[in-house]
Structure 1
Amino acid sequence: VTDDEDDDDLKVLSKGEREILRRAAEEHELDYSFKFDGVLQLKTGRPAEAADGLESHMCVDRGEAAKQFLRRRGMGIRGLEEEVEDFVKQRAGDAEAEELMEMLNYILYEGTSEKLYANGVRDKGREPGTKLDHFTGHQKAKLAGLSEAEVAALRLYTTYGTYRLMNGPLRDDERKQRHEPCHLPVATFLAAEGAKKLRKLNAPEMQTRLSAESAAGLQAVPGAPPSTKRVYWRGMRHIDMKVSDGFLRDGGTELAFM
């Protein structure tokens, strides 16, 4: 059945469902949300560029884009909603944009429920009806000092495929050259700030506190000094990917925030 047929009732899948399947089938094609280019060349930024700040990379550090970004960022949840609403208007009729709006409403106002997507089941195994205040009131969210807007942005990033709309523009060098603002700078900034704050939970004193309060998932390190050495590994899906001599010699930075 083709998309130009009028009688949608005769179709097994709706137009939105067909769009989801089409995107899933095309995931192997060049995608700026992917950290590798079309020939599996690892894409990284120069280490010095990491100091420029996220606003600079999102191209919302000057002019009207900066004013709008700062205004919406200061509005918290409402600013996040306004940004997504504006994104949907700019991409009227686009299934991905409509799905984003649906997902934000789900996160902000609905209780959790399982739903099958191309890359998995939304909130699988979570107690049905769990609302945003459960996440904002979580012990780890409170210890990390997450705001309601940061929690919502992190939920948006980690629920279904919204991360593509945040990571993709940050990996798009041509967008940066045009100094074109990212699609969702407020959501991206809030999620990035929330992720940074969550690092606080790895501090030895925080692990001890979490352990004392019977928090699951983090192991306490009683008396461990702040300088305790840890080694972190970044996974690479494609073992046979091409890595440049420059990266091996000088290193590089991930272009997206997470």
Structure 2
Amino acid sequence: MRRGFKCKREVLESLKQNYDDIVLNRYNRSFLEALKNFDTLAENNLRAVLIPYYSNQRSRDQAWKTCKGSLYEYAVFRYIQSIIEGNGELRDKIVVMMGDEAIISHKDQIVIRNWCDIFPDVDILLIERETNLVIAILSCKTSLRERLTETAFWKRELEKTRDMRDIKLVFVTTDKDNELRTETNRYILLHVIDYTFITDPNKYNELIEAYERKYGNREDFNQLLRRVKSIDEIEEFLHDLLNRRNASV
């Protein structure tokens, strides 16, 4: 659920349509390959979509920052959706949802109540079809800045109000500015966020190499690696969610 400035609905719908067309025509319907190349695709092929909507360059550049973030959420959603639709077991058991209306429809499971309803940093929800229970909350960001810290904060706040063992909190990012290498963010990945998926394969490989050089001799290093994954591994994560649910019944 995006706070503050939002991408205009008509602009976002145009971006989504153009993105889907590019996936169809240039990536042979592979939402995975398009997602792996999101930054290049977005900057080179989709940024110009905003021109008819903003005559002023400065306004257009400012709007693009938000619209690109919203489009990234959509790109992650479409990839997960394609995985679920293409796998009979997942299709029967998991529903993927995004957008304010979808999130509000499950707000009792994720909202924090204190004088009013406060929503955590939620972009995508994974729902168990049979029970309609939230089994994972995904936060998607192209650039971290303070956002990983915000996601970690909401994870801790949610844990104060309910049992979070059955709800995984997942961070998805391009890590375009190499921000996951800082000590603070490394700690959050290892000790707070359940899983982090990197959508840019080059950035993922560079990050793992940097971690190995700096922390490879640490006793809990393998624990860190289990929590930081390439986007290719998200289908395995979905099956793992189901296995955990089945084991707890």
TM-score past 0.5 threshold: no
**TM-score normalised to the size of structure 1?**
0.25
Larger radius of gyration: 1
Indicate the structure whose relative CO is greater, using CA pairs within 8 Å and at least 6 residues apart: 1
Answer 1 or 2: which has greater helix percent. 2
User: TM-score normalized by structure 2?
Assistant: 0.26
Higher strand share: 2
